Amino acid sequence: MEIFIEQILNGLTLGSQYALVAVGLALIFGVVEIVNFAHGEFFMLGAYAFAMVYPYDGPIPYPLAILLATAIMVLFGIGYERVVIHPILDKTWHMQIIATLATSIIFINSAMAIWGTTPITTPTSLAKTTVQTAYFNISYQRMMVFGVTASAFIALHLFIQKTKAGKAMRAMSQNREACAVYGINIRKISVLTFAISSGLTGLAAALIAPLFNVLPTMGILLTLKAFAAVIMGGFGRVSGAIYASFIIGLTEALAAGYGHYLNIDSAYRDAFPFGMMVLVLLFRPHGLFGKRVGI
Amino acid sequence: MKIPRILFWFCLVTFLAIFPLVVKTPYFIHIFILVGMYVIFALSYDLSVGQVGVLSLAHPAFFGVGAYTAAILSVNYDFPPLLCFLLGGILAAVLALGIGIPSFRLSQHSFAIGTLGFALIAELICRNWIDLTRGPMGIPGIPRPTLSIPYLFSWKVDTLTKFYYFMGILVLLGVGFYHTLVTSRIGRAFRSIREDEILAASAGVHILKYKMIAFISGAAMAGIIGVYYAYWYTLVSPEQLSLYYTTNLLIIVFLGGRGSLRGIVLGAFLFTALPEFLRITPQLRLILYGIILLFVVLYFPDGIERIFQRLTTPKKIISAFEKE
Amino acid sequence: MASHLPILHIQHLTKRFFAVTAVDRVDLSIHAGELVCLIGPNGSGKTTLFNCVTGFLSHEEGHILFKGQDITHLSPHQIALSGLTRTFQIIRVFPKLTVLENLMLALQQHQEESFWKCFFRTSSIRQREAQARLRAEELLKFVGLTRLEHEPAENLSYGQRKLLSFIFALMPDPDLLLLDEPAAAVNPTMINKMKEYIKTLNGQGKTILLVEHNMEVVMDLAQRIVVLDHGQKIAEGSPAEIKQDERVIEAYFGR
């Protein structure tokens, strides 16, 4: 029973991480219609940014570090949009994919060159203090992860539904050409989308980094899992991506925890999201919660 | 200035044929072998990316299948090398069939992502199926091959020079296959799909069939070159299936010019030989590659081929306002 | 002699996009040798109908019979191979292929071929290539594009591309030719040329169904006109009849 609860918690944590990242990816894909292969690297850079401002449980308070890391990533997202995305907006999809793939390589190797390949840790006191209940232990850090993730999504939802900018984003995801006619500034929305997506990954990094190691290659698998979530969730549908992220996180955790009963090596747990994604693509090419898309 | 194509190729082939007899330094021969491998590898990739126009990210998996097939069969079961080449190509083709059938049903984005997923699964399997692949340790000790057909010939490839000539033969075969395929009607069908799939379908082209042909032939070629690699390097490991190779391929194909034979050959040379000569750290090299790739994609999507065309054909002046 | 079965028989065709019924129980029959025009205000479902007939869209209800066979579940390339070709409203060509290559492609699929024969260029394949080339040159001459034979299609002007896509659809000598707005977006000289070409073809016995907005062209060419409005067939008849049909006038000019 304890293992079960432990894995559920692991799964929810993973799910939160994936969700924050996948939502950003879904927004980019839905609003700007770009497949951002470097998205996992946003997370990685966010983790390093967090490590820079909060190297050893200080010197600044943790909440401030979270805000700072998020802010840095927001700026990064804006810069990325200007330098990389803007020139490729009107190019073919192959070019877009390759361009973002190229930036992914640049980021990973730059991180290696700057920070080395040895993993670093960014412990927080929250990660070390736990709450003990009858059935399970949970660190404050994890509770924070859940809490902040939930709040972030609520905030995002309100933003998209209620604000003018949010509505513009929704409009653009539905019909880009029409937006120009209605006076919606596509450039600004594009920058905004990247700012938000990047900010979300920065937030995710600040929350999750204390629980795991930070290394330059941490984003690679994450990109693909985020894609898996976006695809399963229905290609750009934010809510779908969130649900799918949690499904992936939980499946992964349960597979790792219980895999040995089925003789599956826990090393394979990374294959699960892809296996699921492949299956979903086979049987429901529009995603589990899909809206219809593309050819 | 016009450079006739035949002259170009003739000079190139002659130079390469006498190269190891003149230049004795192993280092350079080694590099040329590497270039040869990348030429075939890139051409095989171009069949999918350049000719038909599908962005597959699964290619290293086919190379890996070939390499591991040779490794496992040679080391454990002492299979004759020529048979390993055959099997490597066939197994890679079968894998391509397996990946292609579900993936080609998807939209283009999903196809890229789906093939990426398959590539990752392949690498994970190689890394973790210890019983078969020995995991991260890889399979060492692959013996030098003796290519033989009983009663016909037997050739033990055990020196660097022999490997060089063996590679030369494979390159000739690979280039010959690519060129023949691409200039045939089949190639025309490929390019029609690349240019406009809907128009091609409305003209009777069976889209899935031709995509599969390109994908599977490319996979077989990659598999065969994977087998060569196994015999040459004598060690295969999961690194061979890494996405790093996809990047290299993308650079060569996009820089060289998708769909262009000579462009890709030159691209393979530039991107394999040059870094060897430059000797910078792997990270810096990759950063440079990334920047170059980004630059090329943004500003020179048609690559070297454009430059070639300017050198070898006079520019035609076309008036778009000619009377109809 | 000729059977009285229609070459194309569309029965109760219905296509819905979620809440919108783009094509609503349309019946349409075309007999061999006819030249029929499909007209209707924008959004009336004409191109959707084309897409259903040519296999690019599935449909919810109804049957489409081509030469007596139900082509409902065939994919576009199979339908093309059975003798039904089309042009597109937004001109499509293969931009980086030459004009000649474009045309060769249009025919090559209709000539039987196996992979290995094509790969090794056996004599039967070379023969077929020669045949295709002859036909391409014939058609290029027909529309006056011969000197552009080796030009990449992307270098052609809009009007030239229109002609190219026209003869592209003609290459395999189709039993039924679907033309989507052949007179759109070109100058009057070209429009007249297109009319002449279409008349010539029909005179030679070609069955043609075309969608058109240009009423002058429609009245000049059509033997029979079918009118769609909001997905439904609201009228059918000779040009003279349609000109005076109240429902048609209402559909175009509003109530």
Q: Which of B219, B210, B165 is nearest to B188 (CA)?
A: B210
Local confidence band at A135 (pLDDT 50, 70, 90 cut-offs): low
Contact B102 A231 (CB under 8 A): no
Between B5 and C42, the higher pLDDT residue: C42
**Residue B313 DSSP one-character state:** S
Is the per-residue pLDDT at C152 higher than 50? yes
A132: its two tokens? 């003990």
Give the count of domains, chain A: 1
The predicted pLDDT at position B204 comes to 92
Gap from C255 CA to chain B (nearest CA, Å): 38
Sign of CA dihedral B207, B209, B214, B216: positive
Local confidence band at A200 (pLDDT 50, 70, 90 cut-offs): very high
Contact B324 C157 (CB under 8 A): yes
Between B207 and B257, the higher pLDDT residue: B207
Residues of A in contact with B105 (CB under 8 A): 282, 285
The predicted pLDDT at position A295 comes to 24
A18, part of any domain: yes
The arithmetic mean of pLDDT across residues B241-247, rounded, is 78
Is the per-residue pLDDT at B316 higher than 80? no
Yes or no: say if B72 and B139 are a contact pair by the CB < 8 Å rule.
yes
φ and ψ at residue A10, rounded to 5 degrees: -55, -45
Pairwise CA distance, residues A111 & A77, whole Å: 17
* Inter-axis angle of helices A218-232 and A271-283, nearest 10: 30
The predicted pLDDT at position B220 comes to 96
Residues in chain B: 324
Chain B contact for C166, CB < 8 A?
A: no
pLDDT tens sequence across A49-75:
998 888 877 688 888 889 999 999 999
The arithmetic mean of pLDDT across residues B230-245, rounded, is 84
Local confidence band at B309 (pLDDT 50, 70, 90 cut-offs): low
Pairwise CA distance, residues C88 & C164, whole Å: 12
Local confidence band at B24 (pLDDT 50, 70, 90 cut-offs): confident
The predicted pLDDT at position B311 comes to 62
Is the per-residue pLDDT at B280 higher than 70? no
Location of structure tokens 């004598």:
B234
Burial state string for B97-129 with b = 16 or more CB within 10 A and e = fewer than 16? eebbebbbebbbbbbbbbbbbbbbbbbbbbbbe
Strand pairing partners for B6? none
Gap from B191 CA to chain C (nearest CA, Å): 8
The predicted pLDDT at position A18 comes to 92
Interface of B with C in 200-259 (CB under 8 A): 200-207, 213
- Across all residues in chain A, what is the average pLDDT? 82
The predicted pLDDT at position B301 comes to 72
Is the per-residue pLDDT at B110 higher than 80? no
- Long-range pairs, A118-123, Cβ under 8 A, ≥24: A118/A215, A119/A213, A119/A214, A119/A215, A120/A51, A120/A213, A120/A214, A120/A215, A121/A213, A121/A214, A122/A47, A122/A50, A122/A51, A122/A54, A122/A55, A122/A209, A122/A210, A122/A214, A123/A56, A123/A57, A123/A210
Between B259 and C198, the higher pLDDT residue: C198
- Across all residues in chain C, what is the average pLDDT? 89
Single-letter amino acid code for the residue at A155 = A
Chain B contact for A91, CB < 8 A?
A: yes
Helix (H) or strand (E) holding C53: helix C46-53
The arithmetic mean of pLDDT across residues A250-255, rounded, is 83
A144, part of any domain: yes
Between A249 and B135, the higher pLDDT residue: A249
pLDDT tens sequence across C170-225:
999 999 999 999 998 889 999 999 999 999 999 999 999 999 988 889 999 999 99
Helix (H, G, I), strand (E, B) or coil at C20: strand
A248, part of any domain: no
Percent of chain A with pLDDT over 70: 87
Strand pairing partners for C237? C225
Location of structure tokens 């029909």:
C202
Contact C77 B213 (CB under 8 A): no
Q: Among A87, A105, A268, select the one facing B286 at the smallest CB separation.
A: A105
Instruction: Name chain A's partners: 3 or more CB pairs within 8 A.
Output: B
**Residue A211 DSSP one-character state:** G
Helix (H, G, I), strand (E, B) or coil at C36: strand
The predicted pLDDT at position B322 comes to 31
A96: its two tokens? 């877009």
Residues of C in contact with B185 (CB under 8 A): 104, 108, 113, 118, 125, 129
A131, part of any domain: no
A230, part of any domain: no
Local confidence band at A286 (pLDDT 50, 70, 90 cut-offs): low
Question: What distance, in Å, lies between the first and last C-alpha atoms of chain A?
Answer: 46
Yes or no: say if A76 and A198 are a contact pair by the CB < 8 Å rule.
yes
A60, part of any domain: yes
Chain B contact for A106, CB < 8 A?
A: yes
Location of structure tokens 């196809």:
B111
Is the per-residue pLDDT at B297 higher than 50? yes
**C56, C151, C157, C176: best mutation site toward chain B, by most B Cβ within 10 Å?**
C157
Contact B188 C104 (CB under 8 A): yes
Q: In A116-139, which residue ranges form alpha helices assigned H by DSSP? A: 125-128
Gap from A235 CA to chain B (nearest CA, Å): 9
Q: For the beta carbon of residue C182, count every other beta carbon within 10 angstroms.
A: 25
Which residue in chain C has the smallest CA separation from B316? C151
Residues 6+ apart with CB under 8 A from C11: C27, C62, C63, C64, C65
Percent of chain C with pLDDT over 90: 61
Percent of chain B with pLDDT over 70: 90
The predicted pLDDT at position C150 comes to 92
pTM of the entire structure?
A: 0.84
**Cβ burial, residue C211 (10 Å; 0-12/13-18/19+):** buried
- What separation in angstroms does the CA of A210 have from each of A39, A127, A152? 20, 7, 19
Single-letter amino acid code for the residue at B90 = I
A152, part of any domain: yes
pLDDT tens sequence across A101-125:
889 989 998 998 898 888 888 777 7
The arithmetic mean of pLDDT across residues A28-51, rounded, is 90
The predicted pLDDT at position B1 comes to 47
A163, part of any domain: yes
Is the per-residue pLDDT at B317 higher than 60? no
Structural domain that includes position A171: 2-117+138-218
Between C165 and B239, the higher pLDDT residue: C165
Pairwise CA distance, residues C96 & B9, whole Å: 25
pLDDT tens sequence across B127-156:
888 888 888 888 888 888 888 887 788 888
Sign of CA dihedral C126, C127, C131, C134: positive
Instruction: Name chain C's partners: 3 or more CB pairs within 8 A.
Output: B
Least confident span in A192-201, A244-253, B144-153, C219-228: B144-153
Is the per-residue pLDDT at A47 higher than 70? yes
Q: Which of B135, B102, B139, B134 is nearest to B118 (CA)?
A: B102
pLDDT tens sequence across B171-210:
999 999 999 999 999 999 999 999 999 999 999 999 999 9
Residue C110 CA to its chain's centroid (Å): 17
Sheet holding C69-70, edge to edge: C20-30, C8-17, C61-66, C69-70
Is the per-residue pLDDT at C167 higher than 90? yes
- Across all residues in chain B, what is the average pLDDT? 84
